[in-house]
Chains A and B, each alone.
Chain A
Amino acid sequence: MSGPSDYQPSNPVLKWIERRLPIIGLVHSSFVAYPTPRNLNYWWTFGAILSLMLALQIVTGVVLAMHYTPEATMAFKSVESIVRDVNYGWLLRNMHAAGASMFFFAVYIHMFRGLYYGSYKEPREILWILGVIIYLLMMATGFMGYVLPWGQMSFWGATVITNLFSAIPYVGESIVTLLWGGYAVGNPTLNRFFSLHYLLPFVIAGVVVLHVWALHVAGQNNPAGVEPKTAKDTVAFTPYATIKDLFGVSCFLLFFAWFIFYMPNYLGDPENYIPANPGVTPAHIVPEWYYLPFYAILRSIPNKLAGVIAMFSAILILAFLPWLDTAKTKSSKYRPLAKQFFWIFVVVCVLLGWLGGKPPEGIYVIAGRILTFSYFAYFLIVLPLLSRIETPRPVPNSIADDVLAKTGSKATPMVSTVIALMVAGALFAGSAQNARAEQQEVPPSQKWSFAGPFGKFDRGSLQRGLKVYKEVCSACHGLSYIAFRNLADPGGPGYSTAQAAAFASDYKVKDGPNDQGEMFERPGRPADYFPSPFPNEQAARVANGGALPPDLSLIAKARSYERGFPQFVIDFFTQFQEQGPNYVDALLQGYEEKPPAGVSLPEGSYYNKYFPGHAIKMPKPLNDGQVTFDDGSPATVAQYAKDVTTFLMWAAEPHMEARKRLGLQVFVFLILFAGLMYFTKKKVWAEAH
């Protein structure tokens, strides 16, 4: 991409091709012979990491689209059947969902790197603007992808974000109707979002080609911010940059795999395990963590239109950066003031992200305004001003000089920044969790056999839990995503296929129509799903005093509670994922005969310590001695609660054992591979120094 190639193939076949389509020469000049500054640090490997993430998102996305149904009544269920029934479906879905977060994580590092080292300055303005376009496209793609599972957060996220456009004067409402394809977010919206979510990644790929093209014309910037002058300043892209990038990628994959295999729900919202309900908005609408800073800016402006303008300006202002910061010195390494302001700006962004997950009340609103002002002040006041008043330190004469000047003392700041960034990332992630359920009593943490990296379900507990569900819960609650065959699946309650079939035949299942055109009942088969106790929502409500008993298939993942700072940061490292089970277990035991003094309950409600708001419509479901266990386990409420919670956790994630087992294998491999890559990289680079 940098002028005609001097690549001369010797193989006659390649020669023949090359004369007609010089594609090998193009690859050779762009990715083999291409000169790359020899002083690039590991922050420069994020370009390769991002390319990998884009490819991975496209590949996993194409595969998921083979199994997904973009239809409002089936979308949620189709995602669940991907996770439950498709071979490795849980893995592909986790890769795609965590992959989106990793993509944004990497792009933020990539952007901050560009900001710190002045990679947007002449002659790289277009390169930078293409990057801003890619980032905008990523945001649109990520948003539409989040809508596809059609859970509560999907639905209400779609509603809130599309309503941003209603702020446009005169035509706002018409634009929103146009986006929805209806009078509210609904099936047409889901359909078009799916179509666009499939399209936009390829648009991104196209702009990435332009981005790389522009990069290879202008050449890479580097930590010293001086352009290469002689051949001594550069090394060949392959093997030097390639191997370094691959080492960076292998380290990044370790981080990525932690989410895929051990923390798949850490970055997600439990609310999204509840199917979309157009009649009920979740208490706190929180976007995915990567949108939080902009969400905070939106909310800190009291005027609707101004808020929307501020939010979009916060992104678009990046495109004007090359003309806002006119300082001649590129790298902040040689700009003592710019460097300090850069780090203040990073902190402002992280804090904005944290605020985005907080409810917009009291001190948070004021803090949001101050931080929003600071955000814009960095671009509109600080950078233009610094360009005029700052005296930069002298830059090295050449890249080669820069390399010679610092041998040995470069690893430390990198490590500390990585740690700082990881904490910041965790802060972001946690702030989304922070926004939920304030005045709730915190359920006590139980010991679960399935917790931690080696966690496994207790078979006995699963079988007892199934009994409790069958004899008690199933009177009101469905379990509609579980088929009888699942009882014989590996990693489940451990029944044989014959036992599962026998269990199924105890149930009456509606089938038909038969040859006479009539519906009939027949004994259940392994392929059938647990029948629901009520034929429809209305029947369920009438029978339960107006309340709808939720389906229990996903309840252990759909319920959560606030862990608070710094606990959620620690949770990331200890792999704590058991909020749901803790809550369900506590709720079942949290009934009190009489509400505390001064608390009055509405008619037909019961007092529960752990239920948000304490007034629950479900009467105390479990009593001592209600269910008899064959294995001699105590017939107590505590035992019932624990067993049925274990069972419901399995029901919510039947492949958890497979996930953790494969995770261990992947980690052993990745650690070994990263080690090999490290030594290979050292060997290759030994010749460059």
Chain B
Amino acid sequence: MTTASSADHPTRRDFLFVATGAAAAVGGAATLWPFVSQMNPDASTIAAGAPIEVDLTPIAEGQDIKVFWRGKPIYISHRTKKQIDEARSVPVSSLPDPQTDQARVKPGHDQWLVVVGICTHLGCIPIAHEGNYDGFFCPCHGSQYDTSGRIRQGPAPTNLAVPPYQFVSDSKIQIG
């Protein structure tokens, strides 16, 4: 490109080039969006992730069940008095991820622990009623959770997550 003509009409010429370049950039970015957006869950996956209801009556004290919601295992434990006491007698400040047991269950439903059964370390599924704390033990890298699903020992950084849920009645919960 010569410099002579750009010296003649520097502004008009530069404006055209900048405008064309900008339009190309905007068009390119806009074109890119559908290719990124398509990676997100599609409408049927989102619809299938709707809340589910779980009947608690068949779960005896000291037992737990595993249900799936949005492809994740959810542990529902019917805790014994002993398990609840164990969870509540630990000084919160001594925990790696301090949280009271009360904050992890619904008031009035202390015996029900509902947690996402996915180890917060790297996503393996911990085994219930295993480990030193009668809670959950992750066989992958040895993380141990207590009867409230809180991390007590091992590489996992945080407590087992509590999914969004509510009691529809005393014996039924809705997860999601």
Interface residues on B, range: 20 to 34
Pairwise interchain contact B38-A92, C-beta atoms closer than 8 A: yes
Given A483-B47, A527-B47, A527-B50, verify A683-B16 contact (CB < 8 Å): yes
Given A485-B43, A680-B16, A680-B20, verify A91-B34 contact (CB < 8 Å): yes
Given A88-B37, A673-B27, A680-B16, verify A687-B1 contact (CB < 8 Å): yes
Within 8 A of A (CB), among B7-34: 13, 16-17, 19-20, 23-24, 26-27, 30, 33-34
B48 CB within 8 Å of chain A: yes
Least Cβ distance of B73 to chain A in Å?
A: 17
Among A86, A92, A672, max chain B CB count under 10 A is at: A86
Among B30, B33, B34, B35, max chain A CB count under 10 A is at: B34
B89 CB within 8 Å of chain A: no
Pairwise interchain contact A676-B16, C-beta atoms closer than 8 A: yes
Pairwise interchain contact B42-A86, C-beta atoms closer than 8 A: yes
Given A84-B43, A85-B44, A676-B20, verify A526-B50 contact (CB < 8 Å): yes
Pairwise interchain contact A483-B16, C-beta atoms closer than 8 A: no
Within 8 A of A (CB), among B70-107: none
B40 CB within 8 Å of chain A: yes
B169 CB within 8 Å of chain A: no
Residues in A with CB closer than 8 Å to B23 are 669, 672-673, 676
Residues in A with CB closer than 8 Å to B38 are 63, 66-67, 86-89, 92
Pairwise interchain contact B5-A687, C-beta atoms closer than 8 A: yes
Residues in B with CB closer than 8 Å to A86 are 38, 42-43
Say which residue of B1, B24, B34 sits within 8 Å of A239 (CB atoms). Answer: B1
Query: Whole-angstrom distance between the alpha carbons of A92 and B32 in the complex?
Result: 11
Residues in B with CB closer than 8 Å to A679 are 16, 20
Least Cβ distance of B23 to chain A in Å?
A: 5
Pairwise interchain contact B34-A88, C-beta atoms closer than 8 A: yes
Say which residue of B1, B17, B39, B40 sits within 8 Å of A680 (CB atoms). Answer: B17
Interface majority SS (helix, strand, loop, mixed), chain B: helix
Residues in B with CB closer than 8 Å to A89 are 38, 42
Least Cβ distance of B43 to chain A in Å?
A: 4
A171 CB within 8 Å of chain B: no
A81 CB within 8 Å of chain B: yes
Pairwise interchain contact A526-B1, C-beta atoms closer than 8 A: no
Residues in A with CB closer than 8 Å to B43 are 84-86, 485, 489
Least Cβ distance of B171 to chain A in Å?
A: 15
Residues in A with CB closer than 8 Å to B44 are 81, 85, 483, 527
Residues in A with CB closer than 8 Å to B42 are 67, 81, 85-87, 89
Q: Can you name the residue of chain B whose Cβ is closest to the Cβ of A253?
A: B27
Interface majority SS (helix, strand, loop, mixed), chain A: helix
Query: Whole-angstrom distance between the alpha carbons of A541 and B37 in the complex?
Result: 42
A96 CB within 8 Å of chain B: no
Given A63-B35, A86-B42, verify A687-B20 contact (CB < 8 Å): no
Given A67-B42, A483-B44, A526-B47, verify A687-B16 contact (CB < 8 Å): no
Residues in B with CB closer than 8 Å to A91 are 34
Residues in B with CB closer than 8 Å to A669 are 23, 26-27, 30
Residues in A with CB closer than 8 Å to B58 are 515
Query: Whole-angstrom distance between the alpha carbons of A683 and B27 in the complex?
Result: 22
Least Cβ distance of A679 to chain B in Å?
A: 6
Query: Whole-angstrom distance between the alpha carbons of A175 and B47 in the complex?
Result: 46
For A83-122 the 0/1 string (1 means CB < 8 A from B) is 0111111011000000000000000000000000000000
- 27 A-B contacts (beta carbon < 8 Å): A59-B35, A63-B35, A66-B39, A67-B38, A67-B42, A85-B43, A85-B44, A85-B45, A86-B42, A87-B37, A87-B40, A87-B42, A88-B37, A88-B38, A483-B47, A485-B43, A489-B43, A525-B50, A526-B47, A527-B47, A527-B48, A527-B50, A669-B23, A672-B23, A676-B16, A680-B17, A686-B5
Q: Show the binding face of A for B, using Cβ within 8 Å.
A: 59, 63, 66-67, 81, 84-89, 91-92, 239, 483, 485, 489, 515, 525-527, 669-670, 672-673, 676-677, 679-680, 683-684, 686-687
Given contact pairs A669-B30, A676-B20, A679-B16, enumerate 17 new A-B contacts (beta carbons under 8 Å): A66-B39, A67-B42, A81-B44, A86-B42, A87-B34, A87-B38, A87-B40, A88-B33, A92-B34, A92-B35, A239-B1, A489-B43, A525-B50, A676-B16, A679-B20, A686-B5, A687-B1
